């Protein structure tokens, strides 16, 4: 059984989508064993407790470097024999300390069609730029921000007269659909990274794109 750890900094709505996918059996032979947050009192911690998942708060003010924070996180994950790590609205840049411990086992969800609009406030960046199509991306995490090989994307058209908040909500709904797919494929051992490309055994490249 795949043991999954999730890192989150906020409400954890993508965390909830992964919980639902695991509990429903859509992601087979898996268990989310811990939720780690760098923020106290956030909804993600409450979601974990509600579902019987261990919830851990790491006080980042106790550490002087990013590596120090990640050493603590790796320690907490290792205690629980975690094999796969999912970043779900985790608002810190992870370091090689974490990536070396979980090579090609760290996933992230980003609210834009990478490589466009990396970093913070991606939905607002896309909206203000005037794009006609935005979306979201699940990718492997590497040592550059929002840069790792892409697993699956969802395209979300920008509607006429739509505002930024409306677009943000529609992208978030798409995130909740594609993140479970990516985690399922990883748990099932169907992902193979070839350079910048991620091959999914038994899944066409077209099926790695969702169009809303």
How many CB atoms are located within 10 Å of the residue 87 CB?
Answer: 21
Residue 147 annotated to the active site: no
Torsion sign (Cα): 77, 186, 90, 177: negative
Tokens of 144: 């550059």
Q: Which one from 110, 139, 176, 181 is the annotated catalytic residue?
A: 110
d(CA 37, CA 14): 14
Instruction: Give the chain's length.
Output: 212
Start-end of H helices in 103-211: 122-129, 164-187
Q: What radius of gyration, in Å, describes the C-alpha atoms of the chain?
A: 16
d(CA 209, CA 152): 6
> What are the residue numbers of the active site?
110
């Amino acid at each position: 059984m795949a043991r999954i750890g999730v890192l989150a900094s906020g409400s954890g709505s993508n965390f909830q989508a992964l919980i639902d996918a695991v509990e429903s059996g859509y992601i087979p032979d898996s268990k989310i064993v811990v939720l780690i947050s760098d923020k106290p009192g956030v909804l993600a911690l409450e979601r974990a407790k509600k579902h019987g998942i261990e919830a851990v708060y790491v006080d980042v003010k106790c550490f002087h470097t990013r590596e120090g924070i990640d050493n603590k996180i790796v320690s907490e994950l290792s205690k629980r024999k975690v094999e796969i790590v999912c970043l779900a609205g985790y608002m810190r840049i992870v370091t090689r300390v974490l990536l070396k411990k979980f090579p090609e086992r760290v996933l992230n969800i980003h609210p834009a069609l990478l490589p466009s609009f990396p970093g913070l406030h991606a939905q607002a960046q896309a909206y203000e730029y005037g794009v006609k199509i935005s979306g979201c991306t699940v990718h492997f995490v590497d040592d550059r921000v929002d840069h790792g090989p892409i697993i699956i994307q969802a395209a979300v058209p920008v509607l006429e007269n739509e505002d930024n908040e409306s677009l943000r909500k529609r992208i978030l709904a798409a995130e909740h659909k594609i993140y479970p797919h990516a985690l399922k494929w990883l748990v099932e051992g169907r992902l193979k990274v070839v350079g910048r490309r991620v091959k999914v055994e038994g899944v066409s490249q077209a099926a790695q794109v969702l169009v809303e």
